[in-house]
Structure 1
Amino acid sequence: MKTIRWGIIGCGKVAEKKSGPGFQKAEHSELVAVMRRDADLARDYAERHGVPKWYTSAEELIQDDEVDAVYIATPPSSHKEYTLLAAQAGKPVYVEKPMALNTEECQEMINACRENDVPLFVAFYRRAMPALLKVKELLDNDTIGNVRFVRTVHHKKASEQEKKGDLPWRVKPEISGGGHFFDLASHTLDFLDYLFGPIEQAKGFAHNQGGLYEAEDMVSGTYVFQSGVHGTGQWCFQSYKNEDLNEIVGDQGSLIYSTLQERPIILKNEEGEREIEIVYPEHVQQPLIQTIVNQLNGKGQSPSTGNTALRTSKVMDQLVANYYQEREV
């Protein structure tokens, strides 16, 4: 197997620990170049992480002959642009989530990669995390019998930064696609797609209740999976505390787990309940990165692709459609 040499576009907070070191620690993988518009920050990242090259131009990094594949770790507003450049250069693309600003951009990215015969992967890394794969293992082993429905309750306190009006890019739709829902709920919805298959129907309501920014801060939705499982979700980002809870209910028991927090899985049935401890990896994206490197070397398939991420984008767009359609009128 050959070593896949990676270049990172956007070596900011996500690349610091969640992903960047994973490219260096995965087998048959190497991080050879990083890019950031600020030269001092690009140089600093490269020096601290032992990366040989740094750039201030994404195009220069993409055109580097020693870069085999490109990881795009910028905000969603630039995902399409950089994906198209990498595809045109014939280089595999691994892009952060959410995949793009909307479903239409996701489809353009898929088309460009298909036309240039390069694979497209998306950083829905929970599809490969051992902690959450334990949930899938329990379901596959019929631990709770036939699954009937899943419910999600996710609420989060507004940050002091938001209360002061110093808004992060994650609540600016022109940069992120929407509010915190797009950033955080995308992980939950995508992992549910992995567990139960595509969502065939989705209906939702989105509103802004807190008035701290223009994006939606409250979303409620109902959906039906291709497998027949029903689902409900409520996401509130103007709450009094942080909570992230999913409950999968079957005809013989239920599983409770968190998408985003390192908490035990709780198994309940008629005999009582027990906790199943889980452990997050040091670099949460490393297991998914390994599946991508393996696929690029002709070994297996990565579970998170442009096509799977497109489905998640469609569902999110459907759940908030009422809010953004009203704003356009």
Structure 2
Amino acid sequence: MNTIKWGIIGCGDVTEKKSGPAFQNIENSELVAVMRRDGEKAADYARRHNVPKWYDDADRLLNDPDINAIYIATPPGSHEEYTLKALRLGKPVYVEKPMARNATECNEMVRVSRETGTPLFVAYYRRCLPYFLKLKELIDQKAIGEIRLVNITLHWPPYPEEVGQDAQPRWRVNPEISGGGHFHDLASHQFDFLEFALGPIKSARGIARNQAGLYEAEDVVMASFEFESGVVGSGSWCFTGSKKHRVDEAYLLGTEGKITFSFFEHFTIKVETQDTIQEYELPYPPHVQQPLIQTIVDELRGKGTCPSKGESGARASLILDWIVGRS
């Protein structure tokens, strides 16, 4: 392909800033059309983002001859359906994370990608962000010696729309649509990066519970996991805790020090050894998915390789399934 001509299925919030503008900003990449079931919203998005075409029917977008690559930004419940359709049309797919509702759906997507020979990429964009590349560099350079353990803490209060008499929780906590709750949505990023930085996780187990009863999905999870390298890890996720005690922190403990970092809310990496403390401040770029999308465009044009593909994306979903007891 000389120019990658994209069509977006599902032009919701994630496409407004995180991803959508990147398709226009990258050389040899064009955003040709967008689709949303609500035609008025699709037309509004197209107008505001200077996109030539819009659709309210996914099949019409998929079959548009002017489009040669598809970005699927719908909730996970429809990822498998749209991905398989696009792959069978010979159109490479970039699909939002989590890749699907569970590892079984992910594996079918990977199977069809291999069967058709059509590339499949997943939006685990931390694999290309400067913040996380610096973190991986510190690990690879043994800035704290040999890594012994990993710990993740993510404790957030409920979202406003999840509490009160008029509560209307979002689709992210409806397992039928999302595959799980906030754990499924956010921990997928965390485990994908950990495998990218530290290698495969060979086992994981956990306890997942719904304590507050605000929605159907689990709202608290405890987990332990082990990498093939022998590094061990643990984590706790709570999404109905105290607003005052909101925490987004992870650390790596090594034989010569400790690295503290954040997966979502902070931009400082702190490296502590016996004699020194060093900090790296690396804010996210304006469109956080653009560095990863650039690698996809490069690969499709035969000029590079994307680090986040179907096989690695499916791994994150498998680990989540292990932890919540789905496999």
TM-score, structure 1 as length reference? 0.96
Q: Which runs of 5+ in 1 are unaligned?
A: none
Amino acid at match of 1:267: V
Equivalent of 2:289 in 279, 285, 288: 285
Shift of 1:15: 0.4
Q: Structure 1 residue 261: deviation in Å?
A: 1.5
Mapping of residues 107-256 of structure 1, within 5 Å: 107-164=107-164, 165-241=167-243, 242-256=246-260
For residues 272 and 201 of structure 2, the distance between their equivalents in structure 1, rounded to whole angstroms, comes to: 26
Q: Distance in 1 between matches of 2:277 and 2:23?
A: 39
In structure 2, how many angstroms separate the alpha carbons of the residues matched to 1:87 and 1:274? 46
Contact 1:73/1:96 (8 A) holds in 2:
yes
Q: How many residues align?
A: 323
Residue 307 of structure 1: aligned partner = 311
- Determine if the alignment matches structure 1 residue 294 to structure 2 residue 298: yes
| Structure 1 counterpart of 2:262 | 258
**Conserved 8 A contact 2:131-2:267:** no
Asked if structure 1 preserves the Cα contact closer than 8 Å seen for 2:267 and 2:284, the reply is no
> Percent identity between the aligned chains?
54
**What's the CA shift for 1:274?**
2.5
Deviations 1:35-60 (A, max 9, x none): 00111100110010011111111111
Q: Deviations over 1:200-253 (max 9, x none)?
A: 011111111111111101111111112221111111111113321110111111
CA drift of 1:272 comes to 3.7
Q: Distance in 1 between matches of 2:309 and 2:148?
A: 27
Mean Cα displacement is larger for which, 193-202 or 237-246? 237-246
Tell me the distance in 1 between the aligned counterparts of 2:231 and 2:2: 42
Return structure 1 stretches of 4+ with deviation > 2 angstroms: none
Instruction: Tell me if the contact between 1:26 and 1:290 (Cα under 8 Å) persists in the aligned partners.
Output: yes
2-side partners of 1:83 and 1:138: how far apart? 36
CA distance in 2 between counterparts of 1:188 and 1:127 reads 11
Distance of 1:250 and 1:137 partners within structure 2? 15
**1:26, 1:162 → 2: CA distance?**
38
Aligned AA (1:81): E
Alignment of 1:16-95 (within 5 A): 16-95=16-95
Cα distance between partner residues in 1 of 2:77 and 2:55: 20
1:23-45 Cα distance to aligned partner (Å, 9 max, x none): 11122211111000111100110
Cα distance in 2, alignment partners of residues 107 and 225 from structure 1: 21
- Checking the alignment, whether the CA contact within 8 Å between 1:262 and 1:280 is kept in structure 2 is no
Query: Do 1:262 and 1:278's aligned partners in 2 also have CA atoms closer than 8 Å?
Result: no
Q: Which residue of 1 aligns with 2:103?
A: 103
CA distance in 2, matches of 1:139, 1:115: 36
The amino acid across from 2:262 in the alignment is S
State the Cα distance separating 1:295 from its structure 2 match. Answer: 0.6
User: In 2, Cα distance between the equivalents of 1:113 and 1:57?
Assistant: 23
Contact kept, 8 Å, 1:75 with 1:176, in 2: the verdict is yes
Query: Partners of 1:231 and 1:152 in 2: how far apart?
Result: 8
Retained in 2: the 8 A contact 1:196–1:226?
no
1:261-280 matches, cutoff 5 A = 261-280=265-284
The residue identity in structure 2 corresponding to 1:278 is L
CA distance in 1, matches of 2:284, 2:30: 22
Checking the alignment, whether the CA contact within 8 Å between 1:110 and 1:120 is kept in structure 2 is yes
Q: What is the deviation of 1:110?
A: 0.9
Task: Tell me the secondary structure at the aligned position of residue 239 of structure 1.
Answer: coil
Task: Compute the TM-score of the two structures, normalised by the length of structure 2.
Answer: 0.96
